[in-house]
Structure 1
Amino acid sequence: MDRPTPTGPPAPELRIVESRVYRGGNIWSYDPSVHLVVDLGVLEDHPSDTLPGFTDRLLAVLPGLAHHTCSTGVRGGFVERLRDGTWLGHVAEHVALQLQQEAGHDQRRGKTRMVKGSPGLYNVIYGYTNEDVGVAAGHLAVRLVNHLVQAEEGFDFPTELERFLTRAERTAFGPSTGAIIEEAVSRDIPFIRLNTGSLVQLGQGVHQQRIRATMTSKTGALAVDLAGDKDMTTKLLASAGLPVPKQETVRSADGAVAAARRIGFPVVVKPLDGNHGRGVCLDLRDDEEVRAGFAVAEEQSRRGYVIVESFVTGRDYRCLIVGGRMQAIAERVPAHVTGDGTHTVRELVELTNADPRRGVGHEKVLTKIRVDAAAEELVREQGFGLDDVPPAETMVKLALTGNMSTGGISIDRTFEAHPDNVEIAEEAARLIGLDVAGIDFIAPDIASPVREAGGAICEVNAAPGFRMHTHPTIGEPQYIAKPVVDLLFPPGAPSRVPIVAVTGTNGKTTTARMIAHIMKGLGRQVGMTSTDGIVIDERLVVKSDASGPRSARMVLQNPRVDFAVMEVARGGILREGLGYDRNDVAVVTNVAPDHLGMRGIDTLEQLADVKAVVVEAVPRDGFAVLNADDPLVRRMRRRCSGSVVWFTLAEPGSRVRELIDDHCRRGGRAVVLEPTDRGDMIVIRHGRRSMQLAWTHLLPATFGGTALFNVANAMAAAGAAFASGAGLHEIRQGLRTFTTSYYLSPGRMNQVNVHNVDVIVDYCHNAPGMRVLGDFLERYADVKAGQSDLGRISRIGMVATAGDRREDDMRELGAVAAEHFDVVVVREDQRLRGRERGFTAGLVAEGVRSRMGEPGVRCRQVEIVLDETEAVRHVMARANPGDIVVLTVDQHAAVMAELEEMTKRAQPGTHTRDSVGDPDLDPETLQEEARESGDTAARDLEPVPPTP
């Protein structure tokens, strides 16, 4: 390994410069990942083999690193890399993975790459199971590496590790939720965590089901209320002839005593609506014990009611019923310790709690035993004190109830239950109406019929915990998550909605809208994300730039959506990755220079790699609809696991068409243009079959076939719809009824007539987009000129770009606009994106001026009007009847409202500065008028000699 020679002892300068969390596929990985940008500082000159004792110290604190394979592919490969010498950013990656392993999160994916052109900066990427835990692992990894380079004062790794593990345990799913999710994932059912607790959505859109622990979407609210009312539960069970204890509901201590006398001692006192065994007092044998028990139960009762019932002796069994069928039975043994003749009761509790399976609450499969006043009193009743040493093999109870949450243990008895007892438990769950129920039996032996041997149902529980069944202390674990998932998603039931992802530099919004319109015609409830917002079944529900992963998740959470169309922007992919794990169809319209120089994307090839993420997210049975005319898009076919559907504007006989012909001969699909005497026909090809779809000039969005970019968008949409299962008739009808009206396609090629001035409103904001828009304008103007007797038609354009583009890109936009417009008015977006007011517009105008006067360049005048609404008014004031005005907009709603107001305000044939003007008027005259009137809009107008 070539490296600089170290010059002295290093300082621990490893630090995190930036961190991101990818929640779906991204440019680094197919799976969710944490991305840290770290700066090694002087440690860039100090690989691991130059740090004396570093590797040994690292392995001493995290011995699990010895099992990491790293790039060698064999166990111990990472240690080999450490001893040969590797940079500390790579070390931090492996430490972050191992820390998650220590927390029980099986993560093995990671990579470290130097930031191009920035020595000492590294991209550290690794997988995660829980987002918070993954990020915390990265930060602790960096601290540990620095500490091993040079000890940090006050840093104690065992303490920090314990804090990290505690955090991981508290943010992780509980045993019940985790078991259900693990089963769902094994069946390829996606899930979304809806809060920091146990509320989880399984499935997508219309197919979704929700769970909260073991309460499901199918759990009835009335059934939960009945289960929570223990008095009503007992009455219902008794009315069906099921064995239940005698009981009464009381609200005072005196009432409890009176009830106990009527029922007969010993009795049980418990809250009417309690849970987890809290407030339950057992085996009360006189009035004073009942009074004391009432006080304990009342404290845990939410409504103040307390139940007094007969005390049934026997073992405590929990029967789990799912979908009306018994799935597991566990015997619950109360929290206890067993004497060894050496340790005191208190010491025995500490030894028992040291079991790594025990934690706080429900964070682990067993709960730590808590020694409180009640436990101390119970120990005393058994003839011991907490500091006494019980004889060997003597069982000392610390709780009367067998709940796992109070420190109890469980023994699996699933296959020992008598059929009569199983039938009783199933009938109890059906009577209450719970889909998932925990039936608590007290019986001498679950293997004997309770009607003969004695025993009763003491409780019916909604949302029963699973851990006593999935992780019994003694016996075989039961696979009980399967019937729960079967209940929510019966075999063969769908859990996913089809997802079509659309990306590209230009045209992705229109293409997404076309696909959504076609699928709506099939009766689908379409959820769509775009740069304009989130649309659910043609209703705009969120108005913002919604082309990122969060918006995608919002669509997939909507219970009406049965088909999703996602516009996927470069920024969202770089920021958070995709908002889902895979898309059935990926559409890539093109890759052109835009957004370069941002977030490390400096070349078209890098931009193409970002766009290709949606192609990589296509499964084997999915499709990638790719633009065969774009070389960078063509290359993406190698990154697709599914099938490719090409679309192209190329003529027959071209190299691209030869590629497509070969593709179709092998059974592939494509959408092509076939020129005829009557015009261009869009044809869908599948293998050797060719199916005519529509004439381009009959599609409203193509402006009579002159808008070739919308022809391409329509072909991409047709390919995506065909891949999604739509028939030719539905695709044809969808494209024929899709217009560029403001209703269907706001801000995209909207055509408005303002008193014989032809106004086109579009979002075009970069040079490639302006180039294709200009080409359309040339064809459209020629057609219009042939239909007009008004003489020369002038073209006026209002142009702008975002402030976060490169300066050269801004100038290029202006230069391209100069080729197609007689007058260019430059405005600025409302959001300046870090630029000074007027800076962006100045560069665009500079680009216009650089081309003015050149042969074949139309532009003679350039003006700057920064405010968008003022710029619209100024442009319209300069237009004559018959002229063409193109407004490239930022706030399209405000622009359309202004045009509507102009239509109402002005009268046809009037000629005022507020309505129409003459773009051929001498610029010097306009400047003179501006000086006299104070009109700032025309002050930047430059006189240019007329072109011969």
Structure 2
Amino acid sequence: MDLPTPTGPAAPDLRILESRVYRGGNIWSYDPSIHLVVDLGILEQYPTSALPGFTERLVELLPGLENHTCSTGVKGGFISRMQQGTWLGHVAEHIALQLQQEAGHDQRRGKTRMVKDRPGVYNIIYAYTNEEVGLAAGRLAVALVNDLVQAQEDFDFAEELERFLTRAERTAFGPSTGAILEEAVSRDIPFIRLNSGSLVQLGQGVHQQRIRATMTSKTGALAVDIASDKDMTTKLLASAGLPVPKQETVRSAEGAVAAARRIGFPVVLKPLDGNHGRGVCLNLMDDEAVREAFVIAEDQSRRGYVIVESFVTGRDYRCLIVGGKMQAIAERVPAHVVGDGTHTVRELVELTNADPRRGVGHEKVLTKIKVDAAAEELVREQGFTLDDVPPVDSMVKLALTGNMSTGGISIDRTFDAHPDNIEIAEEAARLIGLDVAGIDFIAPDIASPVREAGGAICEVNAAPGFRMHTHPTVGEPQYIAKPVVDLLFPPGAPSRVPIVAVTGTNGKTTTSRMIAHIMKGLGRQVGMTSTDGIVIDERLVVKSDASGPRSARMVLQNPRVDFAVMEVARGGILREGLGYDRNDVAVVTNVAPDHLGMRGIDTLEQLADVKAVVVEAVPRDGFAVLNADDPLVRRMRRRCSGSVVWFSLAEPGSKVRDLIDDHCRHGGRAVVLDRTDRGDMLVIRHGRRSMQLAWTHLLPATFGGTALFNVANAMAAAGAAFASGAGLHEIRQGLRTFTTSYYLSPGRMNQINVHNVDVIVDYCHNAPGMRVLGEFLERYASMKSGQSDLGKISRIGMVATAGDRREADMIELGAVAAEHFDVVVVREDERLRGRERGFTADLVAQGVRSRMGQPGVRCRQVEIVLGETDAVRHVMARANPGDIVVLTVDQHAAVMSELEAMTKQAQPGSHTKDSVGDPDMDPEAMMEQAKEAGDSAARDLEPSP
């Protein structure tokens, strides 16, 4: 392309307009990603080739960019792109990835795309490991680009990079947790981080296990308490005849001196319940040294107790025991430097800390040596000062203990240990009761039996660190995370619960409920998310719109759930992606005009792309249950890695049925409708087999077969259940017992008789939904007219839509409603979503009036009553016995409570207020529930019919 070559921008103004974190599959990527919307401003006119020296300065600051292949597929590809000329949004993407690599997060995937019809505005998408670090990397990348174009006075990249790396270290998993998670991921075991620390859930639902660093769900609290009490530990080990040092527990300095005299010098003082070697004082030779050491040890003791024990000479070994078996042994060498005859002790420490393997805390495989007062005193005891030059090859210790956290190093000795010593360590772990234990030996040589050569177990540690074993300074690394994961998930043990994801414009809530009901009949503990809330084993535990990714994670964290049904709405996918990495079965009911004009989704094709994310999340052994009657859904088959299950209302001989017939001839699956003189039969087809499932008029949810949309929903549910392993009988039984009562399907086609007025309560909020609801009403009214002696039946509808729909969609809703109701009463939702009160209702009413008087249009009157409860009362006041009333509702609990109250008014023998009735249908209680739901501060997603 021809690139402009201006002299240079007046002032760089690259800025982030919007940032978003996708925590699962999304419209941009199969994996978690960061999404930045950036505006290049004036920099849109300046590709990298038009900025002299830009590429060279950037590579000097971040040389790792030379390894980026970009679209060329070879190292150096990105540098070539910059030299040829690329836009600075693309550069920011690569910088964000490289900054994460500098922090130890190996991420390489990203893309940059211009926002349609917005020149200079770009979507930047890149992978992340930790979302906080990923977002910080994006912000720093943008700041660096601006600084390289024109130096900013208040920006110092070195300082900013150090601050970024410090944040990354603070939020990152420690080396032990990281090792376990790497092993889990390699086995396809999912994990969820439960806090900002190292508490992590491995697996999903009923299969979950938890870890905190190297403490696991199987670690006993009593065993941890015993290991934390060093005095109790020593007594238990001694009672089993294991070698331990002599030991006493004291509370005062003088008590420590007395104990040291009884035990015999030299002695060791350490806190009773300390860790990481803090407060441990070794080789104390006299009373004064004991007194000074007591103050140090007491300061690190949580309960104020200090251990005095005999000083055992020898090397320091850590034996790691997992599940009662020795897995690794490391020799720990205290922090030290080795003289070279040239540099001082202080300079040698600086040279040692310059090792790229050393970092702050647990940031890297080794920790930097800290020179403090204790280290300086130890150097003096060895005959040196920090400014002395030690002789060549002389070792100068800077710490007494060999802990990695104080700058020590480790030498792998796993295969050098004597079998007797291994047996002693394993027995010690079993005695304490720890599943994962670190047994600390002091011995002349681990290769010789300690019972003969001397030595003892000086400590037993719960939650031992893995760093010394996974990244030894000398020797081969030991892959000790494997036995830990084996302990939690033995080979062949499941870690995932089956996930069925249901999406679509209309029908997804009812379909989800049907699937959950069928699987409940199989004895499964079903966790379900929907627009009404989170349901665990048919109990509503969270009441809000819960069709988003956060709710999905809540279900997967519940330890009772062994089967998950997730209603997935468009808004959640666009905002955060999916709440999980994959779903075993994806169901797409339909794609119709709704929510268009929101979050950049302006066409049906774009909306279909959003809903197709659940299809893309199907693995090779999974299934996508797709509506073959919808062309946009039909196209999604190309995005499915697994198998497709079609469902269709089409008749034999149609193009759709021909497609299904060909699919089944090749071994595929489908759910179809066979029409006969006796009625319509649901049929499951698998290859050449056809299995009759149920007559549609015998399924309660279909209103005698007249509600074709619920017939389609039942077919989708049957296909999903069949793909999930349910048998024909269980599916049939589930559909036959699923009703649209308020208890099983609140707010979806609930039917109630109020003084002989047939009332149907539904959630319909858009024109496509109103069209199929109207078609049902035509068939239902026709059937009812044939059964009634009341003469002409009037139809009254209460309709509304959400305020965030397009104005054209609001008008269309009213126009469709006019075709099917004699009287239309328009109301509004309580949440106006940015509209003025009355605006939405006026547009819907306008749509009704636009069709009144036209041929085939029933409506003769339209009224506006804004309040939902007021509108219900108004509609019911207009209805006569035998009429059909359809109420499309927002707060279904409040509406049902109002209708229930009406059924008790002015009837002979009606209950008084103090009568005992059904507590679940108590009007006052239902009103209170509705109020709680309406007052929810933040819904997971916008309501989506």
* TM-score under structure 1 length normalisation: 0.95
- What are the equivalent positions in structure 2 for 1:11-26 lying under 5 Å apart? 11-26=11-26
Match of 2:923 in 1: none
C-alpha distance in 2, partners of 1:391/1:348? 12
1:2 Cα shift?
A: 4.0
Report the alpha carbon displacement of residue 9 of structure 1 after superposing the two structures with TM.
3.1
Shift of 1:389: 1.7
Q: Deviations over 1:581-615 (max 9, x none)?
A: 00000000000000000000000000000000000
Deviation at 1:8, TM superposition (A): 5.6
Match of 2:28, SS state, is: coil
Q: CA deviation at 1:794?
A: 0.6
Question: Quick one: structure 1 residues 116 and 395, their matched pair in 2 at CA, closer, same or farther if it must change by over 3 Å?
Answer: same
Question: Does the C-alpha gap of structure 1 residues 566 and 301 become closer, same or farther in structure 2, counting only changes over 3 Å?
Answer: same
Q: Give the secondary structure class of the aligned counterpart of 1:820.
A: coil
The equivalent residue for 1:437 is 437
The residue type paired with residue 773 of structure 1 is L
Does 2:630 align with 1:669? Answer: no
CA deviation after TM superposition for structure 1 residue 262, in Å = 1.0
1:97-127 C-alpha deviation (Å, 9 max, x unpaired):
1111221211111111111111111111111
Contact 2:582 2:617 in 1 (8 A): yes
Moved more, 409-418 or 380-389: 380-389
Amino acid at match of 1:580: Y
Alpha-carbon distance in 2 for matches of 1:59, 1:433: 54
Please give the alpha-carbon distance, in whole angstroms, between the structure 2 residues aligned to 1:155 and 1:7.
Answer: 24
Hey, what's the Cα distance between the residues in 2 that align with 1:849 and 1:480? 74
Shift of 1:267: 0.8
Displacement, 1:909? 13
Distance in structure 2 (CA, Å) of the matches to 1:195 and 1:743: 36
Question: C-alpha separation between the residues in 1 aligned to 2:367 and 2:101?
Answer: 22
| Aligned-residue offset at 1:427 | 0.3
1:885-918 CA distance string (max 9 Å, x none): 10000000111111111111233799xxxxxxxx
**How big is each residue's C-alpha offset from its partner over 1:717-749, in whole Å with a ceiling of 9 and x where there is no partner?**
000000000000000000000000000000000
Match for residue 480 of structure 1? 480
Q: What is residue 330 of structure 1 aligned with on the other side? A: 330
Which residue does the alignment assign to 2:894?
894
Match of 2:410 in 1: 410
Which stretches in structure 2 are left out of the alignment for 5+ residues? Answer: 911-945
1:940 maps to none
Deviations along 1:555-596, one digit per CA (max 9) or x if unpaired, are 000000000000000000000000000000000000000000
Contact preservation (8 Å) 2:596, 2:806: yes
Between 53-62 and 520-529, report the one with greater CA deviation: 53-62
Residue 385 of structure 1 and its aligned partner are, at CA, apart by: 1.4
258-267 or 359-368, which deviates more: 359-368
TM-score of the superposed pair, with normalisation by structure 2 = 0.95
- In structure 2, the partner of 1:498 is 498
Write out per-residue CA displacement over residues 229-259 of structure 1, whole angstroms, 9 at most, x where no aligned residue.
1111111101111000110111111111111
The equivalent residue for 2:805 is 805
Q: Write the distance in 2 (CA, Å) between the matches of 1:230 and 1:360.
A: 29
In the aligned structure 2, how far is the partner of 1:143 from the partner of 1:371?
A: 36
Which deviates more from structure 2 when the two are superposed, residues 672-681 or residues 82-91? 82-91
2: CA distance, partners of 1:852 / 1:802: 23
Q: Report which stretch shifted further, 832-841 or 70-79.
A: 70-79
Matches within 5 A, 1:506-905: 506-905=506-905
1:3: Cα distance to partner?
5.2
User: What is residue 117 of structure 1 aligned with on the other side?
Assistant: 117
**Structure 1: gaps spanning 5 or more residues:** 911-948
Q: Distance in 1 between matches of 2:733 and 2:194?
A: 39
Distance 2:869 2:9 in 1: 63
SS at match of 1:862: strand
Aligned counterpart, 1:168: 168
Q: Do the aligned residues in 1 keep the contact of 2:191 with 2:200 (CA within 8 Å)?
A: yes
8 A Cα contact 2:5 2:50, kept in partner:
no
1:203-234 superposed Cα distances (whole Å, 9 cap, x missing partner): 00000000000000000000000000111111
1:30 positional shift: 0.3
Cross-structure match for 1:230 = 230
| Secondary structure of the corresponding residue to residue 416 of structure 1 | coil
Q: Which residue does 2:937 correspond to in 1?
A: none
- Return the letter of the residue paired with 2:17: V
Aligned residue type for 1:251: R
> 1:20-56 CA distances to partner (integer Å, 9 max, x unpaired)?
0000000000000000001011111111111122222
Deviations 1:400-448 (A, max 9, x none): 1111111111110000000000000000000000000000000000000
Instruction: Please give the alpha-carbon distance, in whole angstroms, between the structure 2 residues aligned to 1:453 and 1:3.
Output: 78
Corresponding residue of 2:354? 354
8 Å CA contact 2:8, 2:50 repeated in 1: no
1:330 Cα deviation from its structure 2 partner:
0.3
Any idea what SS the aligned residue of 1:905 has? Answer: coil
| Cα pair 1:10 1:43 within 8 Å, conserved | no
Q: Indicate how the Cα distance of structure 1 residues 909 and 435 shifts in structure 2: closer, same or farther if over 3 A, else same.
A: closer
Name the Cα RMSD after superposition: 1.2
Given that 2:503 and 2:611 are in contact with CA atoms closer than 8 Å, whether structure 1 keeps it comes out as yes
Tell me how far 1:6 sits from its aligned partner.
Answer: 4.0
Alignment partner, residue 921 of structure 1: none
Q: What letter matches 2:531 in structure 1? A: T
1:856: Cα distance to partner? 1.0
How much identity, in percent, do the aligned residues show? 90
What is the match of residue 212 of structure 1? Answer: 212
Residue pair 1:331, 1:413 contacting (<8 A) in 2 also = yes
- Which residue of 1 is the match for residue 929 of structure 2? none
1:716 CA drift (Å): 0.1
State which drifts further: 383-392 or 403-412. Answer: 383-392
Amino acid at match of 2:754: V
Distance 1:278 1:909 in 2: 79
Say if 2:279 and 2:300, in contact at 8 Å, map to a contact too.
yes
Separation of aligned partners in 1, 2:322 and 2:9 = 64
Q: Secondary structure at the match of 1:684?
A: strand
Instruction: Read off the aligned partner of 2:718 and give its amino acid letter.
Output: A
1: CA distance, partners of 2:292 / 2:6: 75
Question: Does the 8 Å contact 1:10/1:149 carry over to 2?
Answer: no
* Cα-to-partner distance string for 1:487-520 (whole Å, 9 max, x where unaligned): 0000000000000000000000000000000000
2:378 maps to 1:378? yes
Q: Distance in 2 between matches of 1:382 and 1:72?
A: 59
Tell me, yes or no, if the aligned pair for 1:10 and 1:46 is still in contact at 8 Å: no
Deviation at 1:363, TM superposition (A): 2.3
- For residue 722 of structure 2, give the secondary structure of its aligned residue in structure 1: helix
Aligned letter for 1:835? R
In 1, Cα distance between equivalents of 2:555 and 2:803: 30
Write the letter of the residue equivalent to 1:32: P
Q: CA deviation at 1:653?
A: 0.8
Alignment partner, residue 139 of structure 2? 139
Which amino acid in structure 1 is aligned with residue 277 of structure 2? G
Whole-angstrom distance in 1 between the partners of 2:26 and 2:552: 14
1:165 CA drift (Å): 1.5
The alpha-carbon deviation at position 661 of structure 1 amounts to: 0.2
Q: CA shift at 1:74, angstroms?
A: 2.1
Taking the TM superposition and a 5 Å limit, the aligned residue runs for 1:447-486 are 447-486=447-486
Map of 1:257 onto structure 2: 257
User: Equivalent residue of 1:30, what SS?
Assistant: coil
901-910 vs 880-889, which moves further: 901-910
Alpha-carbon distance between aligned partners in 2 of 1:485 and 1:884, rounded to the nearest angstrom: 61
Deviation string, structure 1 residues 338-359 (Cα, Å, up to 9, x no partner): 1122222222222222222222
Query: Where in structure 2 are the equivalents of 1:37-56 lying within 5 Å?
Result: 37-56=37-56
User: C-alpha separation between the residues in 1 aligned to 2:834 and 2:262?
Assistant: 81
Q: SS of the residue aligned with 2:876?
A: helix
CA deviations over 1:351-400 (Å, ceiling 9, x no partner): 22222222222222111212222212111111111222211211111111
1:123-179 alpha-carbon deviations (Å, 9 max, x no partner)? 111111111111111111111111111111132212211221221122111100000
Q: Are 2:590 and 2:630, in contact at CA under 8 Å, matched by a contact in 1?
A: yes
1:98-117 to 2 correspondence within 5 Å?
Answer: 98-117=98-117
| Paired letter, 2:16 | I
* Cα distance per residue 1:308-356 (max 9 Å; x no partner): 1111000000000000000000000111111122222222222222222
On the 8 A contact 2:815/2:847 being kept in 1, the answer is yes
AA partner of residue 551 (structure 2)? S
Query: Hey, what does 1:918 align to over in structure 2?
Result: none
Moved more, 493-502 or 104-113: 104-113
